[in-house]
Amino acid sequence: MKKTKMKTSKPSKAPKADKKPAPAPADLNVAVSGKPKKTYALIRGMHDILPKDEKYWKALYHAAEKLAEHFQYGRIDTPILEEVGLFIRSVGRGTDIVDKEMYVFEDRDGSKVALRPEPTASIMRAYIQHGIWNMPQPFKVWTWAPMFRHDRPQAGRYRQFHQVDFETIGAKDPAVDAELILVAYNFFQDLGLPVEIHINSLGTPEDRERYIAELVTYYRSKRSYLCEDCRQRITKNPLRLLDCKEPQCQPVKEAAPQLIDWLEESSKSFFMKVLEYLDELSIPYILSPYLVRGLDYYTHTVFEVYTVVPEMPPKEGSAQAPPSAQSALGGGGRYDLLAEDLGGKPAPAAGFGIGIERAVLALKHYAETNKVKVPSPAPHIFFAELGDDAKRRALRLINQLRGTGIRLAFNFLKGSLKNQLELANNLKVPYVVILGQKEVQDETIILRDMESGVQEIIDQKKLEATLKKKLASAFETESVSAVV
Ligand code: AMP
């Protein structure tokens, strides 16, 4: 191996960089006829996930996958489209999801279908349909999938968004609720994002009925102080009164009767046991007497996950504000009666869902403000080439390095070596390999250390081994990286 110190390599017959700027492309928006062509944009509430965010999405997915593996949740994937009745039955009329937000349409055969607004109903449908209740219980599953709600778009709120979801069906035990809360908590712990759990109990439907009667009497007496939505909720969905965020309703809410005082002894004892588990696990939680979750199917434990990052004003120039600390990153609870409500055999169950977009925003914000590095799939090597022969050989060598763990960047359209090195510099790769006409003929390749500028000429056959040796320390750091 010959070591030389060169400024930049001089691969032979290097084509000159394009001096003249390329002619401006014809206006793509003008059709041949001269009429402007229509351009397309996202539908309101939809969003693209671009490669710049890949590292966050990957980190979140890996965190979920690792937890699922460790706590033994099997993967389930259900279709996006379901019979609309499934969601009306489970989520319930009177909820925002069913009344205002569901994407419902008539299929070509005339049947009414809906784009799934949440995953639990579909998973329970699958549990019943495949006779899973006949198999050893509990049935522990997780999924990662897009959901659809025709919500009012804002930061962290979209009409198509993703959720990671964990469910345990076929078991009623405080340990199950605690395990799920632990998984939700660990998900954020593993990402380095501090969160806390807000928790409450809705008790049994009987407990709730007695409480709702009390709540309705109380709210009727305060009707004149309430917002329009709340006035309707008194008859339509009284529990949702406790969800109201309107400032004018807050004093009424704060003095409202609390559900916990209306629970039967057995419901209280179940809840206390869940809390004892959380104490044992040192999971930070806050008792939230007004946390009811919006959906009809919950019984007993309900919880939500909130970031404990202090609210920061959005960074100047940043397109998106961080999600408000008011909005939960995720939530879930127990739903013991859903299996029966959907025509199945009794099967107590619990689960939770975390909104990925919201978690990505929180993670980004936290990483930015706390200077935490989220590991990214940054390239180790830039592959530069000069000339058509070199380009052909380069693609072959790049292909040969597949499966080695070495991440390569290259751009065959950059032209001059200077441009390519500039790009390599911007990518902050530690090494560049350079292949010119001479190297193609000699079966060699130049390896440049970007920090020292030292270049060495190596045999193409030894490229993989040499790169692996050079990158050994980079590989080591990656494998012990704290964040997934
Ligand atoms: P929910 O079951 O409605 O509490 O939703 C669970 C989680 O999904 C929430 O805590 C959010 O993180 C996320 N989520 C719900 N609705 C939306 C939405 N419209 N856009 C983005 N994320 C959402």
Report pLDDT for 30.
52
Ligand 1 nearest-atom number relative to CA 358: 12
Ligand 1: centre distance to CA 357 (Å)? 9
**Low-confidence spans in the chain with pLDDT less than 50:** 1-22, 24-27, 311-325, 479-484
Q: Which domains, ranges and CATH numbers included, belong to the chain? A: 2-25+378-483 (3.40.50.800), 51-204+264-369 (3.30.930.10)
Q: What is the 3-state secondary structure (H, E, C) of 315-381?
A: CCCCCCCCCCCCCCCEEEEECCCHHHHCCCCCCCEEEEEEEHHHHHHHHHHHHHHHCCCCCCCCCCE
- Extract the tokens encoding 309: 């990052």
Cα(76)–Cα(79) distance, rounded to whole angstroms? 10
Whether 157 lines ligand 1, by a CB cut-off of 6 Å, is yes
Count other C-beta atoms under 10 Å from residue 354's C-beta: 25
Q: How close is the Cα of 148 to the center of ligand 1, in Å?
A: 10
The structure tokens 């966050």 sit at 56
Ligand 1 atom nearest 332 alpha carbon: 2
Give yes or no for a contact between 219 and 230, defined as CB atoms under 8 angstroms apart: yes
Quote the ligand 1 centre to 99 CA distance (angstroms). 16
101 in contact with ligand 1, CB cutoff 6 A: no
Do 286 and 196 meet the contact criterion of CB atoms below 8 Å apart?
yes
Distance of alpha carbon 96 from alpha carbon 152, whole angstroms: 11
Which amino acid is present at 337? L
**Ligand 1 proximity of 292 Cβ (cutoff 6 Å):** no
Contact present, 149 and 104 (Cβ < 8 Å): no
pLDDT at 367: 86
Pocket of ligand 1 contains residue 188 by CB under 6 Å: no
- pLDDT, residue 31, reads 52
- Provide the pLDDT for residue 3: 43
Q: How far is the CA of 146 from the centre of ligand 1 (A)?
A: 11
Do the Cβ atoms of 437 and 390 come closer than 8 Å? yes
Contact criterion met (CB below 8 Å) for 148 and 159 = yes
Atom 8 in ligand 1: residue holding the nearest Cα: 355
Per the DSSP assignment, residues forming a β-bridge with 195 are 307
Cβ–ligand 1 distance for 329 under 6 Å, the answer: yes
| Per-residue pLDDT tens over the stretch 287-301 | 999 898 877 789 999
Q: CA-CA distance, 178 to 276, in Å (whole number)?
A: 9
Probe target for ligand 1 pocket from 161, 243, 304, 307, with the most ligand atoms within 8 Å of CB: 161
pLDDT of 318: 40
Taking alpha carbons only, the member of 301, 298, 292 closest to residue 270 is 301
In a mutational test of the pocket of ligand 1, which residue from 46, 357, 363 has the highest number of ligand atoms less than 8 Å from its CB? Answer: 357
- From the number of C-beta atoms within 10 Å of its C-beta (0-12, 13-18, 19+), residue 262 rates as buried
Ligand 1 neighbour 464 (Cβ under 6 A): no
pLDDT of residue 326: 61
CA atoms within 13 A on the CB side of 298: 25
89 CA to centre of ligand 1 in angstroms:
20
Atom 18 of ligand 1, residue of closest alpha carbon: 157
* Ligand 1 atom closest to the CA of 163, numbered from 1: 8
pLDDT for the residue numbered 32:
56
CB-count exposure of residue 216 (10 Å: 0-12, 13-18, 19+): middle
Q: Is 158 in the pocket of ligand 1 (CB under 6 A)?
A: yes
3-state secondary structure of 75: strand
Other beta carbons within 10 angstroms of residue 76's beta carbon come to 19
From the CB of 149, is ligand 1 less than 6 Å away? yes
